[in-house]
Structures are given as C-alpha cells and as structure tokens.
Amino acid sequence: MKTITEIKNSKVPFVIIDKRLNKLDEEILFPKKVEKAKQVFTKLGLPKK
C-alpha cells in the first residue's frame, strides 16, 4: 500500500470502487431501455465505422 505522500504526489488518479456495487452485476437497471436498444440493433444493426 502506498503512503499518503506518494498518493498526493502521484499523477495517476486514486479511485476506490465500492464492493457493494458487485450486487448490481446481474441486475438489469433499466429493462425498458435495454429492450428498446435490442429492438433497434436487430432492426438497424450495429453502427459501422
């Protein structure tokens, strides 16, 4: 683990991800929007580069 002074002097952002967010991995948060997006992708396909 880095010391506080090493973290403050670092150019890289220091981010801690909350472990409680893992419970949302399998849950669909916006089912209506997901369904609409699936319909659009089947109708139009993926965007081309």
Check residue 46 and give its pLDDT.
77
Q: Per this entry, what is the length of the chain?
A: 49
**Distance between CA atoms of residues 24 and 29, nearest Å:** 8
Report the predicted TM-score, pTM, of the whole model to 2 decimal places.
0.45
Check residue 44 and give its pLDDT.
87
Cα-Cα-Cα-Cα torsion 33, 39, 44, 46, nearest 10 degrees, comes to 60
Check residue 5 and give its pLDDT.
76
Check residue 1 and give its pLDDT.
65
Distance of CA 2 to the CA centre of its chain: 26
For 1-49, write each residue's pLDDT tens digit. 677 777 777 777 778 889 988 888 888 889 999 999 999 989 988 777 7
- Domain map of the chain by residue range? 22-49
